[in-house]
A and B are shown apart, each in its own frame.
Chain A
Amino acid sequence: MDHTETIETIEEEHQEHPIAIYLWVWLLLFVFSACSYAVDYFQFQGGLRWTLILLFMFLKAGAIIAIFMHMTWERLALSCAILLPPIALLVFVTLMALESNYTFFSRLTFLTAGG
């Protein structure tokens, strides 16, 4: 029993970080959100729009995962197990993008051109 108790208390070794870091990240998230809303409000178009949207999206996601979800302070074993598998999604996105381009051009050829 004693043994279990020791392990349990030790297991819970948790992280304490200064309040300032949370407040700064919170503020940053507001700024990034305002920026991505501004992209739409000022109607940026084309490549600039997509770059900005993706930029602010990744900045926000990174701040949330790294600081709010404490990923920065986890051991490499956990962060690799969680952060590496989603890379497979990039392959999935690529495959589906190729596929939908094919569908799109087939539709153009056979549906609208009356082929």
Chain B
Amino acid sequence: MTNEAATVAGDSLEPGVKGLVADWSSDQRAFKKVPWGKSMMWIFLLSDTFIFSCFLISYMTVRMSTTVPWPNSSEVFALTIAGHHIPLILIAIMTFILISSSGTMAMAVMFGYRKKRIATGVLLLATALLGASFVGMQAFEWTKLIVEEGVRPWGNPMGAPQFGAAFFMITGFHGLHVSIGVLFLFITAAKVFRGTLDERRPGLFTGRRGGYEVVEIMGLYWHFVDLVWVFIFAFFYLW
């Protein structure tokens, strides 16, 4: 038993390309030293990558093929703050908020593995609140665009009608991801605070015992949401 466990654990695992071949051709599991939940989250994120890529590629297709000028996003998303007209400022603030939340999430994962219960919980809550404020700003952005600028999925006064369709589809789907992430951050924070992970109590839907890797899996999802925003910011807002 112990010998078998030691082989799984690792000192005998080969590094590098040899290890890659050995892992993939081995019995039972290809992803060594990774909790099953973590590899499943990675596979889900890979499929999500393809979904968001489909959205961004269709956006590229409609933008490249239209003969009508594309609306200038720098001006569409400008705000006038205290008498100053600042281009794209709302989106910049949203970007910084999401980056900050990614940082707090990374810290939460780190403190989780050090079994610092309170620090992990507080950082998870901070991440959730930053995420919620991101969604709030997005609601403000959508309201401004729909009510004041008259942008609709089928047309807008500024240029190519596909602008609205691409905008609502891409940012809407991303906003949905953030909202679900915020929900799960609150759930994870509650689990951390009441000590479920310290005592390794089984979760809601499973008899498996959850430890602090739950926080890391949550973190993978949250960083992915931030990652998608990096691409949306570059391709939709800046391009």
- A residues contacting B by CB (< 8 A) are 2-3, 6-8, 10-17, 19, 22, 25-26, 29-30, 33, 36-37, 39-41, 43, 49-50, 53-54, 56-57, 60-61, 64-65, 67-70, 74-78, 80-82, 85-86, 89, 92-93, 96-97, 99-101, 103-104, 107-108, 111-112
Contact = CB atoms under 8 A, between A and B. Distances in A.
A51 B239 CA distance: 10
Given A81-B30, A89-B53, A60 B230 contact: yes
Contacts of B132: none
Contacts of B13: 75
Interface of A is mostly: helix
Nearest to A57: B234
A14 B212 contact: yes
29 contacts: A6-B2, A13-B9, A14-B212, A22-B103, A29-B99, A36-B233, A37-B88, A40-B87, A41-B88, A49-B238, A53-B238, A64-B102, A64-B226, A65-B223, A68-B105, A69-B224, A76-B19, A76-B20, A77-B19, A81-B42, A82-B43, A89-B57, A92-B53, A93-B57, A96-B57, A104-B65, A104-B67, A107-B66, A111-B67
Contacts of A82: 42-43, 45-46
B65 to A, nearest CB: 4
B31 A77 contact: yes
Nearest to B6: A10
B26 to A, nearest CB: 9
Contact of A54 (B2, B39, B216, B234): B234
Given A39-B238, A57-B234, A86-B49, A76 B103 contact: no
Nearest to B113: A14
Nearest to B47: A85
